[in-house]
Amino acid sequence: MAEGDPIAFRSGALTLEGLLTVPEAAAGATVLCHPHPLYGGNMHNDVVVALEQGYLRAGFATLRFNFRGVGRSDGGYEGGVGEVGDVAAAAAEIAKRTGLGNLHLGGYSFGAMMVARAAAELAPQRVVLVAPPLAFGGLEALARCTCPKLFIGGDRDSYCPAVELGSAVAALPEPKRVVVVPGADHFFAGYESNIAAAVL
């Protein structure tokens, strides 16, 4: 599928860059969040693109964007505090530009943790978290999130071990589902199609 349309939008005093794709008769709107800004994460990451492909095939509009300090986005890394605000700003932007409800949030690694934190405020219809790095924090932010939750992990991921992911998800309210991709580590190289399929 074609690359989305470049857009710019505000997150507080900052301007962020994103790519917006809106299929005809879209069923809803999805904001997609990339991995850690300090370790090369950006909106062009292959896992983020795989999430997007799954959502586009399901007929959803998508907005993937660069967190503050990444690419052409203003500002700098704020330890996950300002970045949660960036998720909220992206959600407001896709709603404004498309007029669509049925908000979904998807994220990979650091982006998954930002989705978890933003979900309490934004009350999305669904969240998809790929490889949340449990070595650096839990999923307690989703403790009151009663929307459907999909978690995708690899069985060779040292940052998000499948057993630990299962235990963390077990403590969360229904509905929820865990998909473990055999052979995949934290980076999912060669397994991107499994992510798109899980979203579908």
H or E stretch covering 198: helix 192-199
Query: Which two structure tokens, joined as six digits, stand for 93?
Result: 């932007």
| Rounded-to-integer distance, Cα 114 and Cα 117, Å | 5
Digitized pLDDT (tens) for each residue of the chain, 200 residues in all: 457 999 999 999 999 999 999 999 999 999 999 999 999 999 999 999 999 999 999 999 999 999 999 999 999 999 999 999 999 999 999 999 999 999 999 999 999 999 999 998 999 999 999 999 998 899 999 999 999 999 999 999 999 999 999 999 999 999 999 999 999 999 999 999 999 999 99
Query: Which two structure tokens, joined as six digits, stand for 129?
Result: 């978290």
Domain with 77, as residue range(s), is 5-199
| Rounded-to-integer distance, Cα 200 and Cα 150, Å | 11
Number of domains in the chain: 1
Are the C-beta atoms of 138 and 108 separated by less than 8 Å?
no
Exposed, middle or buried by CB within 10 Å (0-12, 13-18, 19+), for 154?
Answer: buried
Q: Which of 122, 97, 99, 154 is CA-nearest to residue 33?
A: 122
| Rounded-to-integer distance, Cα 109 and Cα 105, Å | 13
- Residue 129 has, within 13 A of its CA and on its CB side, a CA count of 31
| Rounded-to-integer distance, Cα 165 and Cα 84, Å | 22
Tell me, what CATH number does 182's domain have? 3.40.50.1820
| Rounded-to-integer distance, Cα 125 and Cα 111, Å | 18
| Rounded-to-integer distance, Cα 194 and Cα 179, Å | 9
User: At 79, is the secondary structure helix, strand, or coil?
Assistant: coil
